[in-house]
Amino acid sequence: MPGHESGEAMHQVNHSRPPNRVTRRRRAGEDPAQDSTFRRDHHLFRALRAELDVAGCFRAAPARAMGYGALIVGVYSAAYATLLADPDIALWLCAVVALLFANVHAGILAHEAGHGALTRNRRIAVAFGQVFNTLLTALCYSHFQHIHRAHHPHCNDRDRDPDMQSGVFSMYTESARQKRGLGGWISRHQAVLIWILVWLQGFTLKIDSLQHLRRNPDTTRADHVLVTLHYLIWFIPPVLILGPTAALTNYLVMTLLIGPYLGVIFLVNHIGTRVIEPDEQLSHFEHEIAVTRNLGDSRLHDLLFGGLNHHIEHHLFPTMPTARLRSARKITRAFCECHGIAYREMSWFAAVGEVTRHFKAMSAIVPR
């Protein structure tokens, strides 16, 4: 993972040219056949980008972003006010589910801002990220950016992708072989336990965020202010109005439910696809196509997954506005079919099946 950068530094990929990911691993001319493959992939990537550009897929979508943000804030505020009114159990449950939606989609909007897909204005993008990540969810924007900047250029690289590193789960063969003790036991049963332990994800993300702020006080000042305000909002008025037990219960239940929703969206994006070895030499185009899968493409899928069901397009072109990913998917799919490039898309249940089979295969390697 990279060093601890400032929370205001954004991971942005310029769509005007493909990133040169392989220069750290090779020198031109070392392998003429590999050079030819890289040139072909570079040409294909540029051709696809040009086609998408003509179709307007890189055009900003400010109206959608503002509407999406207003919806999130409105749902969040209404649900918060409902909880303060100490409603009956049915209305309380509705409010908690609404907060679940608002929390996860606030994070998705902050994620889009961090990629420069909402605006090229750095200050405005950081403001979006801080409000929708740190203030609303307490999953601090600086910490998320720190992790996500390492994930995108090294997706499924077993040495470089932070999402591949776990002390208890095994995403690749070498990790499975090294597991011992509690980590080994969890890895041996990970195909089932992942869907149980994912309920704790909201808590672990908040704890990791606070630890990141503690380690980086000078570069996370905005996060410190906004995460403090988050906890004040959730524990001062609720405690005064409802009492400490009800206030704590509301917050814990809301945080608990974040985990499975995040799992539904993100566990099926990359797990079970190709694992990239440290010495592999892949172009950006081949890399992202090989390690990413798309899910359903209905409008309902767009709503539930916040547009990240079009994950191949997002990884190929991270600065593309989420509102354009649906159109880009049709073009990218047809382009890949035309050029004989494998394009992985399936239902959510089929993706879960692939994830489960991969986890079971890794479990079988863990020492007994």
- Could you tell me if 290 and 272 are in contact, meaning their C-beta atoms sit under 8 angstroms apart? no
Predicted pLDDT at 27: 45
Predicted pLDDT at 216: 95
**DSSP secondary structure letter of residue 153:** G
**DSSP secondary structure letter of residue 135:** I
Can you state the percent helix, strand and coil of the chain, rounding each to 5? Answer: 65, 0, 30
Two tokens, residue 191: 């195909």
What average pLDDT values come out for the chain (368 residues) when binned by 10 residues? Answer: 33 40 46 76 95 96 94 98 97 97 97 93 94 97 92 93 92 94 95 96 96 95 97 98 97 97 96 92 93 95 96 97 97 96 96 97 95
Predicted pLDDT at 304: 95
Q: How far apart are CA 179 and CA 3, in angstroms?
A: 26
Q: How far apart are CA 237 and CA 344, in angstroms?
A: 48
Predicted pLDDT at 7: 34
Q: How far apart are CA 116 and CA 36, in angstroms?
A: 32
- Vertex 257: Cα angle to 256 and 259 (nearest 5): 80
> Residue 273 — left, alpha, or beta (φ > 0 → left; ψ -120 to 50 → alpha)?
beta
Q: How far apart are CA 184 and CA 169, in angstroms?
A: 8
